[in-house]
Amino acid sequence: MSDTDSDERPTGPARILPESSILELEDYLAMQDALGDETQFRVLYALKRTGDAHPSDLAEILDANRDHVASSLAELTDVGLVENWIWNEPGNDGVDSTYRVSALGEGLLEDGIESLLQGEWDARERYA
C-alpha cells in the first residue's frame, strides 16, 4: 500500500491529514483564521471560562459592543468552534439563544493558544 492510500501518519509533507479525516485541512485553517481576530479570540476565551452564555452577557464581560460580539459568535459558530443553542420557552413570544464552546474550540484553545499563553506566565514566574 502506498503512502497516499493508507491512514498511517505521513513521513513527508505530501499529505497532512489521513484520507478518512473528519474535517478537511481548509476547515482547520478556517478555525485558526477565526482566532486570528482578537475579538473572536477573546469571545471564545471568555465563553470557555464562563460556560454557556448569551451574547449580551459576553458583551458585558468583555466590555464590547453587543453587535460585534454577536458577529464574532456567528463566525465562531460557522467554523465549528462554538455551538449555538436556540429554544422557545412556553409563554415567550420570541426565541432565546445561548452559546457554548464546542469540543473543537476547547481543544484548539487548550492544546494551542492557552498552552502558549501559559508559557508566558511560567517564564515570568521562572525569571522574575
Segment-wise mean pLDDT, segments of 10 residues, the chain, 128 residues: 53 72 87 90 94 94 95 96 89 85 90 72 80
* Closest to 69 (Cα-Cα) out of 35, 36, 98, 40: 40
pLDDT tens, position by position, 50-87: 999 999 999 999 999 999 999 999 999 999 999 999 98
Domains (range + CATH), the chain:
25-127 (1.10.10.10)
- 16 burial (CB, 10 Å; 0-12 / 13-18 / 19+) is exposed
Model confidence, pTM = 0.74
> How far apart are alpha carbons 50 and 73 in whole angstroms?
14
In the prediction, which pLDDT does 102 show?
96
Under 8 Å between Cβ of 97 and 86? yes
> How far apart are alpha carbons 101 and 82 in whole angstroms?
4
| One-character DSSP codes across 10-57 | PSSSS-SS-TT-SS-HHHHHHHHHHTTSHHHHHHHHHHHHH-SB-HHH
* Total residue length of the chain: 128
In the prediction, which pLDDT does 10 show?
59
